[in-house]
Amino acid sequence: MQSGTKVGIVTGVVSSLLVIYLIEPVLKLLGAAVYYSIGWVSAGFWDSLYVKAALGVPKDPALTIFILGVGGFVGVTVGVSTAVQSYIRKLCGWE
């Protein structure tokens, strides 16, 4: 085998091991933490809404604000990722 081929194989194996044993567990943990925290926050809002409905208290705008906040966060995330993807495509000459 040529030297370049050996370097490519070793680099591929090392990068695969790094992703499998270091990056993937961190991403799984981060995803689980985000999922749990969003569930906890939304459950709190729903519980508050049901309690206020049972007591006859007027509707609280917190749920609407929460939904608008999540929608805004998702919109900004999609916009930034699309802009970065477009920039990389132009930079690499793929467009």
Domain that holds residue 11: 1-58
Pair 11, 22: CB distance under 8 Å: no
Tell me: do 35 and 81 sit in the same domain. Answer: no
Query: Torsion over CA of 39, 40, 46 and 50, rounded to 10 degrees?
Result: 140
Do 13 and 30 lie in a common domain? yes
Do residues 30 and 73 share a domain? no
The tally of domains found in the chain comes to: 2
Are 92 and 78 in contact by the 8 Å Cβ rule? The answer is: no
Q: What is the pLDDT along the chain (95 residues), one digit of tens a residue?
A: 677 788 888 888 888 888 888 889 998 999 899 999 988 988 888 888 788 778 877 776 877 888 899 999 999 999 999 999 998 888 888 76
Q: Are 41 and 66 in contact (CB under 8 A)?
A: yes
Using an 8 Å Cβ cutoff, are 85 and 79 in contact?
no
Global pTM reads: 0.46
